[in-house]
Structure 1
Amino acid sequence: MTVTVTRPPAADAMAPMAFFDRDGVLNEEVDYAFRIDQIVWVEGAFAAVRRLNRLGYRVVVVTNQSGVGRGYYTEDDVRSLHGQMNRIMLENGARIDAFYFSPHHPEAALAAYRADHEDRKPRPGMLLKAMRDFPTERERSFLVGDRDTDIQAAAAAGVRGFLFEGGNLDAFIAGQLERP
């Protein structure tokens, strides 16, 4: 797993964490997106992240990126895309605190990435690593994903999981935050 931290955490600041899957949640699903011109933001993505920033949540992206293991693009391509995505978020008044991605896949073309790795969702490795990297209020933390594997990873990490099936992401987040 590789991580790009865009804002170092305060050493002693506990905060809830909002995990987002990337493709299909923050941006429209595009097979093997690795360039900014492939990113079409989901309606309400900026507002949802702004809302969570204002409420004191750390916002963290956790994304499987098997395109690396398949040889379609590199880890540096993914890091570059994530930097560009966060720049656009910042231009829209929102901030993602860190991006975690797993380049692994059990059938990866590149042997270095061929594994059923603990970081590849539905396994919880990326979430657990983020909660080790940032002081986290686990009880208030949650993950938003568009696949059952995302929700399984959330459960395995001990946080709530919300299945996003499209629409306005900010309205979806607002509704989830109102739930007990």
Structure 2
Amino acid sequence: MKKKAILLDRDGTINVEKDYLHKIEDFEFEKNVVDALKIFSSLGYTLAVVTNQSGIARGFYTEDDLIKLNNYINDRLNEYGVNIEKFYYCPHHPEKGIGKYKVECQCRKPKTGMLDAAIKDLNIDVENSYMIGDTLADIDAGFNAGLTSILVKTGHGMETLEKLGDRKVEIYNSLYDFALKLK
């Protein structure tokens, strides 16, 4: 049976936006995010992260650095009874990448490679699932993959509001505010 899921952007949605975050000591949850994720879990949603990480492509940090931080995030969430099923990430950038990371890939949002992989791997029911993020890339990736896109005003969300154009998207102050709506 297919599962309902919430695919989440990471930076600016789950954690406070800090350019090219890769150090555990710089990590900080957005306000009430743990409570929001607890609500989603209690409602039976499978949780996964889909995140562009061009800092890898630019040589600012390594894939190992990213994996360590993602594991740390999940370990912290596990303490509250929340589990991110899987972290998907795009380490590429078509212009600013270095070496093997300078490619035009299918995984970098707004393309749907990461979302498609999550949908397949986790057996996601697209019609009853969401993509939540703070940028147009997040919103468009969700739409492009057939999910319902939600914009949060945390991170780059306020700037994104001005760029939405005619996109039909629900907008919430935070992940927690959306969780309360679903509850």
Long gaps (5+) in structure 2: 155-172
The C-alpha deviation readout for 1:7-42, integer Å capped at 9, x for no partner, is: xxxxxx521110110000000110001111111111
Q: Under a length normalisation based on structure 1, what TM-score does the superposition of the two structures give?
A: 0.87
Q: Which of 93, 116, 127 is matched with 1:139 structurally?
A: 127
Q: Under a length normalisation based on structure 2, what TM-score does the superposition of the two structures give?
A: 0.86
Instruction: Compute the displacement of 1:95 (Å).
Output: 1.3
CA–CA distance in structure 1, aligned partners of residues 174 and 119 of structure 2:
27
Q: Which of 163, 171, 174 is matched with 2:180 structurally?
A: 174
Is residue 2:40 matched to residue 1:52?
yes
Q: What pairs up with 1:5-84 in 2 under 5 angstroms?
A: 13-84=1-72
Structure 2 partner of 1:8: none
RMSD: 1.3
Is residue 2:128 matched to residue 1:122?
no
CA–CA distance in structure 2, aligned partners of residues 58 and 25 of structure 1:
17
Identity across matched positions, percent? 37
Aligned residues: 165
The C-alpha deviation readout for 1:45-70, integer Å capped at 9, x for no partner, is: 11111111111111000000000010
Instruction: Compute the displacement of 1:126 (Å).
Output: 0.3
1:49 touches 1:96 (CA, 8 Å); kept in 2? no
The C-alpha deviation readout for 1:79-119, integer Å capped at 9, x for no partner, is: 11000000001112211111000000012341201122110
Long gaps (5+) in structure 1: 1-12
1:46 touches 1:93 (CA, 8 Å); kept in 2? no
